[in-house]
A and B are shown apart, each in its own frame.
Chain A
């Protein structure tokens, strides 16, 4: 069987992403390359990437309300349904891809041995989850809305409520880690990490929206967060007659 010739991914728009060197985010100063990235046309090494299946995760790994809670107990905080779709730049769904999230609890405290913040740990909250997108690229988590927390950057810097999101896509070139923020949070505009992103329209893309129609009455509030991964060119005509 002749395989279709793999096609290239669209070049990443490095003016849309944050630059490596963003001095108001202090740690970036010593951790940013000073020399330019070397542009590398896609080869098999970039067009391929790891694949994951249902065997890799357990049922309930996407339910942060229960995946660390003691039997019969619940974590404290605002219960939310976080859902959305993973699409590519051509607005096509990205099915069967791994989405991982991690976050602080309602107090802004991470369950991490390096986090010494005063906010209390929640004995019923771990703070991580993972799931695979379905055939339409959709994913969902149940969790607690995280709290803001302080960090040693400026003297009085506080991270907005956020959830870290890791997505694979179907190619190593699509690998992405980002953070989602919550609609209306006044800390977003003040955050040096958010403000590493130069374009305000790009910041808007990281803000999960209240999704009142998916909110479950008397149970939990829904937020919608769609994720866009790099798209790719059309397949060469002679190699895939059916086109796209």
Chain B
């Protein structure tokens, strides 16, 4: 009988290395990852400031929000990283599968799909500009609803928190999304929905979504072990 795959023991140690343990990013994460915001200029270019680039197709959007702690206070030293597909549902990565719509396999020149944002030190509010992602094929090819992957680090967070932002104005896609449907308590699915905000956008980004994240408490956002 032929095994369907090479047994792991033929290639891999039975005593694999352990992943380096995580530690909090601490209060001064901006020095390393956003030094301009810490108050000094050191790099020619800071990374993560343009997620979609100028050539990306799709709807230009802005996402605005705050992160709240368990007392309801805004977290004013948070750093969030964004990872998303383009409007065709493709990630700019060598392993990206063909998009759910069978579209092209490469993303637009300059489309990074990744960015990092920090909160305002006084108000805790943050925002990022990008394009609305398309549907990405999930496991077994079943399409996922449009979503943006977020990774949240800050003082007091020992391991970065993974969550997803979905769009409240995609009710049909959301209703069939295989990840949202994993959330047993159906009311909690709403914690992952960014709400369209009417009439607040700019000429470049007419469409604005509000997405608040609650680290703890009655409105606690769903976080994933990915």
Task: Using CB atoms and an 8 Å cutoff, list the residues of chain A in contact with chain B.
Answer: 3-4, 6, 10-14, 16-20, 22, 25, 27-35, 37-52, 56-58, 61, 67-68, 87-91, 98, 100-102, 110-115, 126-128, 130, 164, 166, 170, 172-173, 175-179, 193-194, 196-197, 201-203, 205-206, 227-231, 233-238, 243-244
Greatest chain B CB density within 10 A among A17, A44, A205 is at: A44
Residue in B12, B24, B69, B83 whose beta carbon sits within 8 Å of that of A50 in the complex: B83
Q: Can you report 29 residue pairs joining A to B where beta carbons are below 8 Å apart?
A: A12-B225, A17-B159, A18-B158, A31-B216, A33-B216, A40-B182, A44-B136, A50-B92, A50-B113, A51-B94, A56-B45, A87-B17, A111-B39, A112-B27, A126-B40, A127-B31, A164-B26, A172-B151, A172-B226, A173-B226, A175-B151, A178-B22, A178-B23, A196-B158, A203-B21, A229-B20, A234-B8, A235-B5, A244-B6
Measured in the bound complex, the distance between the Cα atoms of B61 and A94 in whole Å is 34
A175 neighbours in B (Cβ, 8 Å): 81, 151, 160
Closest to B18 in A: A16
User: Is B4 among interface residues, defined by CB-CB distance under 8 A?
Assistant: yes
Contact A205 B18 (CB under 8 A): yes
Contact A205 B31 (CB under 8 A): no
A27 neighbours in B (Cβ, 8 Å): 24, 155-156
Residue in A30, A44, A227, A231 whose beta carbon sits within 8 Å of that of B156 in the complex: A30
Residue in B16, B32, B113 whose beta carbon sits within 8 Å of that of A164 in the complex: B32
Contact B216 A37 (CB under 8 A): no
Closest to B105 in A: A3
Q: How many A-B residue pairs have CB under 8 A?
A: 291
Distance of B112 from chain A, by nearest CB (Å): 6
A12 neighbours in B (Cβ, 8 Å): 19, 225
Distance of B35 from chain A, by nearest CB (Å): 6
Dominant SS among interface residues on chain B: loop
B77 neighbours in A (Cβ, 8 Å): 114
B13 neighbours in A (Cβ, 8 Å): 90-91
Contact A43 B136 (CB under 8 A): yes
Closest 4 CB pairs of A and B: A102-B32, A27-B156, A50-B114, A31-B156
Task: Using CB atoms and an 8 Å cutoff, list the residues of chain B in contact with chain A.
Answer: 3-6, 8, 11-13, 16-33, 35, 38-40, 42-45, 47, 69-71, 73, 75, 77, 81, 83, 85, 91-98, 112-114, 121, 136-139, 144, 147, 149, 151, 153-162, 164, 179, 182-183, 215-217, 220-226
Greatest chain A CB density within 10 A among B47, B75, B220 is at: B47
Measured in the bound complex, the distance between the Cα atoms of B5 and A45 in whole Å is 24
Contact B157 A31 (CB under 8 A): yes
Measured in the bound complex, the distance between the Cα atoms of B25 and A228 in whole Å is 17
Measured in the bound complex, the distance between the Cα atoms of B21 and A206 in whole Å is 7
Distance of A231 from chain B, by nearest CB (Å): 6
Contact A30 B121 (CB under 8 A): no
Residue in B5, B73, B114 whose beta carbon sits within 8 Å of that of A236 in the complex: B5
Contact B225 A14 (CB under 8 A): yes
Assuming A128-B42, A172-B151, A234-B12, is B22 touching A17 (CB within 8 A)? Answer: yes
Distance of B42 from chain A, by nearest CB (Å): 5
Measured in the bound complex, the distance between the Cα atoms of B16 and A6 in whole Å is 20
B183 neighbours in A (Cβ, 8 Å): 38
B85 neighbours in A (Cβ, 8 Å): 44-45
Contact B161 A33 (CB under 8 A): yes
Contact A100 B33 (CB under 8 A): yes
Closest to B159 in A: A17
B217 neighbours in A (Cβ, 8 Å): 34
A243 neighbours in B (Cβ, 8 Å): 6, 11
Distance of B172 from chain A, by nearest CB (Å): 20
